[in-house]
Amino acid sequence: MTKPGKNTTISKRMMCAVEGVLFMLKSERNIPIYGAISALAIAGALYFQIGAIEWMLLWLAIFLVCITETLNTAIEYNVDLVTEEWHEKAKISKDVAAGAVLLASCFAGITAYLIFYPRLANLVLGGN
């Protein structure tokens, strides 16, 4: 027996996942920023013709930030659903989730630095 409202088919489950992604794209204010930075990184990667491993690390960094932002949003909504009052544990939960996004963003920044700095320095300084 399934629970009321439980999605029983793969297509229904996939549609719920798509709805979640669309909700993120429409409602989260940081998504356009992530999109712009990701587009810039992808353009730079195409321009500099980075290697396969660097592409893999670049995509990992991009998706890691998106995934942690998605989980952060889910945690924030869940905390808000449980309590409308200020509570220290609710604050900690939200802060830790936001911290995960910060860590993922730091990883993305370090990855971009390691991939692009040598190439940009070479371009600016006129090296080989």
Active site residues: 69
Residue 101 · residue 68 · CB < 8 Å = yes
Q: Which two tokens stand for residue 46?
A: 């195409």
Number of helical (H) and strand (E) elements in the chain, helices listed first:
4, 0
Q: How far apart are CA 103 and CA 88, in angstroms?
A: 22
Q: Can you spell out the DSSP letters for 77-118? A: HHHHHH-SS--HHHHHHHHHHHHHHHHHHHHHHHHHHHHHHH
